Amino acid sequence: MRKLILIGSSTGGPGHIEKILSSLPKDFDATIIIAQHMGDEYLPSFATRLDRESKLKVSLAENGQEIKSSHIYICTKKSEIQYGKTMNFIVSENMQSNYNPSINALFDSAVNIDSSCEILAIILTGIGDDGVKGIKNLSGSGRETIAESHKSAVVYGMPKRAAEAVKEIKVLSLDEIINYINKFGA
């Protein structure tokens, strides 16, 4: 069974993501896809820095690229998952969001992935409401969802809105999220 972790974050997210990824063991058995609000010009160096810190391969999502197990991808623009015999990225310039990359686009694209793939969706620290609609849709399709608690969020905007919108969501501190991710990918 394939395991997929989707993470959305904004203000305060880069440090949180670095802490999460540096905690993962070399034999981590899940794919992680991250939508971190950031300008396109900064995403390549962000991915390079994370690749140095992580025991797993980290790269930018590219259009048409096959999504591999035990790999970490950083979204750009409007990155979505196309699901068929394989999982591939569709990366589009066509943004219908004020956020780059769009967390909602990523999360919504995973809603109809076959149930043989376990999905964990997480909203970390950030301003605004990007990802709330998508995480609500994922929860509605029976997927596990987590929002970062006010205890560790640098900005308790996106996770607070997710916690208010999704009845079944777990609200956890960053350290608890790290433990949960490590168990999920064990």
The pLDDT of residue 96:
64
Question: Average pLDDT over the chain, rounded to whole?
Answer: 94
Residues 6+ apart with CB under 8 A from 27: 70
Over the stretch 157-178, which tens digit does the pLDDT of each residue have?
999 999 999 999 999 999 999 9
The pLDDT of residue 90:
87
The pLDDT of residue 52:
95
Q: Are strands 117-123 and 144-148 parallel, antiparallel or unpaired?
A: parallel
Cα 7 to the center of its chain, rounded Å? 2
Evaluated on CA atoms 163, 42, 89, 19, the torsion sign reads negative
Catalytic (active-site) positions: 10, 37, 130
Q: Domain extents for the chain? A: 2-184
Q: What is the mean pLDDT of residues 62-87?
A: 90
How many degrees, rounded to 5, is the angle at CA 86 between CA 49 and CA 115? 100
Q: What percent of the chain has pLDDT over 90?
A: 83
The pLDDT of residue 94:
64
| CB-CB neighbours of 125 under 10 Å | 24
Structure tokens at 49: 């820095």
Measured between alpha carbons, how far is 67 from 119 in angstroms, rounded to an integer?
A: 14
Over the stretch 75-113, which tens digit does the pLDDT of each residue have?
998 898 998 888 888 888 766 667 889 999 999 999 999
The pLDDT of residue 95:
61
Which residues share a beta bridge with 62? none
Say which range, 50-59, 73-82, 127-136, has the weakest mean pLDDT: 73-82
Residues 78 and 95: beta-carbon distance below 8 Å: yes
Structure tokens at 137: 């849709």
Q: What is the mean pLDDT of residues 117-145?
A: 97
Distances (CA, A) of 180 to 105, 139, 177: 24, 17, 5
Distances (CA, A) of 48 to 18, 79, 150, 180: 11, 18, 29, 25
Q: How would CATH label the architecture of 2-184? A: 3-Layer(aba) Sandwich (3.40)
Q: What is the mean pLDDT of residues 26-53?
A: 95
Radius of gyration (C-alpha) of the chain in whole angstroms: 14
Q: Specify the residue for token string 């750009």.
A: 76
